[in-house]
Amino acid sequence: MTKELSYLDAIREALLEEMQRDPKVFVLGEDVGVYGGAFGATQGLYEAFGEMRVVDTPISESAIVGISIGAALRGYRPVAEMQFADFISCGFDQIVNQAATLRYRYGGRASVPIVVRAPSGGNVGGGLYHSQNPEAWFVHRAGLKV
């Protein structure tokens, strides 16, 4: 059966489905818990899964990605949410030099199954700091899927 959803509703539904399906999936990022995310993508997840699986973090994109990498190496499946894609550059080293290369550095014996979700583009009236599209930075990096 087909149903029509907005992108935001589809993201929220996908997170809910995966978290119900796999207890190792968790979400972390700025304001993802009680507040429900900057755009509401995680609304209701905190109430459904609690603070251990919907984790509010400080404003530190590098830490959010670093924690995700460590958790993934221990068998978890983190979804790291950046509040705006513009600030993903603060986590660039963790994504490009750590997450993307770990599988190769360990000869395929380790994997880092993380999702980094980063809303991008305009139409929020955020000006130059909340409307960039930095995905091209990652497209040609072996070990990443964009």
Whether 145 is in a domain gets the answer: no
> Nearest CA to 8 among 116, 119, 85, 110?
119
Q: What is the CATH number of the domain that holds 90?
A: 3.40.50.970
List pLDDT tens digits, range 43-101: 999 999 999 999 999 999 999 999 999 999 999 999 999 999 999 999 999 999 999 99
**The domain containing residue 40 runs over which residues?**
7-139
Query: 41 pLDDT band (50/70/90 cuts)?
Result: very high
Q: For position 130, what pLDDT does the model report?
A: 82
Asked if residue 120 is part of any domain, the answer here is yes
Verify whether residue 130 is a known catalytic residue: yes
- Helix H or strand E encompassing 24: none
59 in a structural domain: yes
Q: Encoding tokens for residue 88?
A: 């993903």
Query: pLDDT digits over 91-122, tens only?
Result: 999 999 999 999 999 999 999 999 999 998 76
Catalytic residue among 130, 132, 134, 142: 130
Residue 2 lies in a domain: no
The helix (H) or strand (E) run that includes residue 67 is helix 61-73
Contact yes or no for 29/38 (Cβ under 8 A):
no
Give the global pTM. Answer: 0.93
* Domain count within the chain: 1
The verdict on residue 85 lying in a domain is yes
